[in-house]
Amino acid sequence: MSPRYRGSQAGRIIAVVADVMAAVIFLWILMYLLDANGANDFVRFVHDTARWLAGWSHDLFTFDEEWARVVTGYGLAAVVYLVVGHAIANRTQRY
């Protein structure tokens, strides 16, 4: 746990939730790039969860290569969750 959030339990919780959300999305990107078995239950669970979390951004870009669309669309969502989640966690620290 980052020492920045030691004083605020709410800040810690928000930061952890943001980290978990981003980690699921990054895990899906990695699984996609490594051509994980789509019939596997765990791969489907990670994909469905990442798709839900990145629903607003997963088809945002129109690159010709599918891998580029996956990396940028899902990656953007993960970065936004990290930045916004940690910004909110930092704000709770001040109050």
pLDDT in tens, 33-86: 999 999 999 999 999 999 999 999 978 888 899 999 999 999 999 999 999 999
Query: Domain total for the chain?
Result: 1
pLDDT band at 92 (very low <50, low <70, confident <90, very high): confident
Retrieve residue 82's tokens.
Answer: 């990290």
* 38 class by beta-carbon count within 10 Å (0-12 exposed, 13-18 middle, 19+ buried): exposed
Q: What is the mean pLDDT of residues 19-28?
A: 98
- Give the residue numbers spanning the domain of 63: 3-94
Residues in the chain: 95
In the chain, alpha helices (H): 9-33, 41-53, 66-94
Retrieve residue 26's tokens.
Answer: 């990054």
Any residues with CB less than 8 A from the CB of 44 and at least 6 apart, and which? 38
- Say which residue the tokens 């790039």 belong to: 33
Q: What is the pLDDT of residue 4?
A: 56
Model pTM? 0.86
